[in-house]
Chains A and B, each alone.
Chain A
């Protein structure tokens, strides 16, 4: 079975500071990994995904994540936070075989102050 742990239900940064949102996964088989962003009263938008092609994955809005198998991690980073980055972020895992269902983490709310 797969699972995801997101450390920190809330993360606060200042505008222009580094954003680091943590995600650790557990999977008995090679995983696919995803980061989604959700703005208030909106659906989920895919930021980026890891599908084993490259360990450093670049996504939309300047975000990137690095897959580290030895650490079972897939942390999300952005060099410089913008006010518009304030949202809820979900890490998710699925298996890389057959039909996949997503298993979501509990989410991290990113707060950006001026």
Chain B
């Protein structure tokens, strides 16, 4: 089945220690998104790639960066995680289908910062 895969599902990192979260997709979608979701809140878009073009949301902290080496993979790098960065991180993909960019979500990576 075509899908969005996130690894690892659970990640523990130390305060200030860089961490990378991974997302891959077999849907061949040209758009990939990263969301941050804190407990009992809605997902918040951090950035997205439209093909190779990176689009940062205005309020995304500089501490968060992303790489997309090819169509299938996208990485979220947190350079110096703080306690406030503990959250679920969701990857999603989409493509233009008759004018609709329906988003498909991965299972998420839950990040704990100690």
Give chain A's interface residues, CB within 8 Å of chain B. 32, 36, 41-46, 49, 51, 90, 94, 96-97, 99-102, 104-107
**In the complex, which range does the number of interface residues on chain B fall in?**
20 to 34
Query: Do B101 and A99 have beta carbons less than 8 Å apart?
Result: yes
B1 to chain A, nearest CB (A): 14
Query: Do B42 and A104 have beta carbons less than 8 Å apart?
Result: yes
Given contacts A42-B107, A43-B108, contact A101 B48 (CB under 8 A): yes
**Contacts of A105 on B, CB cut-off 8 Å?**
42
Query: Do B108 and A104 have beta carbons less than 8 Å apart?
Result: no
Chain A-chain B contacts (Cβ-Cβ < 8 Å), number: 50
Chosen A-B contacts, 29 in total, with CB atoms closer than 8 Å, are A32-B100, A36-B105, A41-B88, A41-B108, A41-B110, A42-B108, A43-B4, A43-B6, A43-B105, A43-B106, A44-B105, A45-B105, A46-B104, A49-B100, A51-B100, A90-B42, A96-B99, A96-B100, A97-B99, A99-B50, A99-B101, A100-B100, A101-B45, A101-B48, A102-B45, A104-B42, A106-B42, A107-B40, A107-B42
